[in-house]
């Protein structure tokens, strides 16, 4: 049995994933380009986090090398979100979210390299199970190939971001980490927005939000980022980056259900699509059970 504290934290993680499941839907509700959306989201998130750090009187200082690294991770996060929102735009929210399920497979390969440990067959196996679910989805939904490729690239960047944060959080406050990363993401997205407008790559999509856009931009900034991202970073003190990303595989399940609620028939997919999401869900549910049995951990989800 899991300890009550670990179970509460695990349920909290799932709540955060539910919030993230809503982000692809928000990306379809705004009128501005994905690059502009990421810029406004990260800008307001950085301001919000800076205010929290100030009022909580937290120590904003960090080692100069860590600051550079956190800003660099912010660049990765910014690119991840751009690809994520672009995937939803060129395909559907459901396709975008299903593509993100490969994050755990990427993590199972990246985390051992960063932490200098051997690759565990259990992690790779469950990652492949999640990937098999994705294969079932796109065997019957291949007309969304571009959306799939963008989502796969976004998933790879998400894995890199999570593994990096799992190292930062051991010595730096989660709010400080997220704030520096939002600053880096803001700078990168502003730079990229300038290139997009200069080269005319925006395909006519505006970069100035209309009135209704601001509601969703602030939701992304303060709920999905300031709250959810910071809390997820905090949970990395308890859970491995692999478990975090494997649980995030539930994002397609939550997001697809929410997308169908908001967009109706537009988001209705084939039966095989939903069979694939069930395979993803199976991988998520098996991990906390098998990690105890295979690795000999008793009553904990905190395996690092």
pLDDT at 39: 96
Confidence (pLDDT) at 300 = 41
Whether residue 201 is predicted with pLDDT greater than 80 in this model: the reply is: no
* Beta carbons of 251 and 21 less than 8 angstroms apart: yes
How many other CB atoms are found less than 10 A from the CB of residue 255? 27
- Residues of the chain with pLDDT > 90: what percent? 28
pLDDT in tens, 51-103: 989 888 887 878 889 999 999 999 999 999 999 999 988 888 878 877 887 78
Alpha carbon distance 252, 145 (integer Å): 17
* 303 DSSP 8-state letter: -
Count of residues in the chain: 304
Residues 246-274: tens digit of each pLDDT: 777 677 778 877 887 777 766 666 777 77
CB atoms within 10 A of CB 241: 26
* For residue 47, pLDDT beyond 60: yes
Tell me: pLDDT of 303 over 50.
no
For the chain, give the mean pLDDT.
82
How confident is the model over 8-31, as pLDDT tens digits? 888 898 899 889 888 888 888 899
Q: Say whether pLDDT at 297 is over 70.
A: no
Domain layout of the chain by residue ranges:
4-295
Tell me, what's the pLDDT at 288?
60
What does the alpha-carbon distance between residue 105 and residue 272 come to, in Å, rounded to a whole number?
A: 21
Q: pLDDT over 70 for what percent of the chain?
A: 87
Q: What is the pTM of this model?
A: 0.82
**Lowest-pLDDT range, 226-235, 243-252, 289-298?**
289-298
- Give residue 295's pLDDT: 55
Residue 141, pLDDT score? 65
Tokens of 108: 């199972």
Is residue 300 exposed (0-12), middle (13-18) or buried (19+ Cβ within 10 Å)? middle
Q: Where are the alpha helices (DSSP H) in 56-118?
A: 64-90, 93-99, 103-115
Residues 6+ apart with CB under 8 A from 220: 23, 26, 37, 41, 45
Q: What's the pLDDT score for residue 302?
A: 40
Q: What is the dihedral of CA 214, 216, 222, 225, to 10 degrees?
A: -130
Instruction: Give tens-digit pLDDT for 113-165.
Output: 887 777 778 777 877 887 788 778 767 666 778 888 899 999 999 999 988 88
């Amino acid at each position: 049995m899991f300890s009550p504290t670990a179970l509460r934290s695990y349920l909290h993680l799932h709540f955060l994933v539910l919030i993230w499941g809503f982000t692809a839907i928000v990306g379809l509700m705004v009128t501005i380009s994905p690059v502009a959306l990421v810029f406004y989201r990260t800008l307001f998130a950085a301001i919000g986090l800076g205010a929290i750090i100030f009022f909580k009187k937290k120590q904003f200082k960090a080692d100069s090398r860590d600051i550079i690294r956190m800003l660099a991770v912010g660049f990765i996060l910014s690119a991840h979100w751009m690809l994520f929102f672009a995937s939803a735009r060129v395909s559907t929210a459901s396709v975008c979210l299903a593509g993100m399920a490969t994050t755990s497979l990427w993590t199972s390969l990246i985390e051992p390299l960063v932490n200098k440990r051997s690759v565990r067959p259990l992690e790779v196996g469950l990652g492949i199970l999640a990937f098999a679910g994705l294969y079932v989805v796109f065997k019957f939904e291949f007309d969304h190939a571009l959306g799939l490729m963008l989502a796969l690239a976004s998933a790879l960047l998400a894995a890199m971001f999570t593994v990096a944060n799992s190292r930062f959080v051991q010595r730096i406050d989660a709010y400080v980490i997220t704030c520096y990363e939002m600053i880096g993401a803001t700078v990168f997205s502003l730079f990229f927005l300038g290139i997009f407008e200069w080269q005319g790559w925006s395909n006519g999509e505006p970069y100035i939000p209309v009135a209704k856009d601001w509601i969703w931009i602030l939701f992304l900034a303060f709920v999905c980022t300031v709250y959810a991202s910071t809390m997820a970073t905090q949970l990395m003190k308890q859970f491995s980056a692999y478990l975090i990303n494997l649980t995030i595989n539930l994002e397609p399940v939550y997001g697809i259900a929410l997308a169908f609620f908001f967009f109706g028939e537009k988001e209705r997919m084939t039966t095989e699509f939903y069979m694939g999401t069930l395979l993803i869900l199976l991988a998520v549910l098996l991990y906390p059970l098998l990690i105890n049995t295979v690795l000999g951990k008793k009553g904990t989800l905190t395996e690092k």
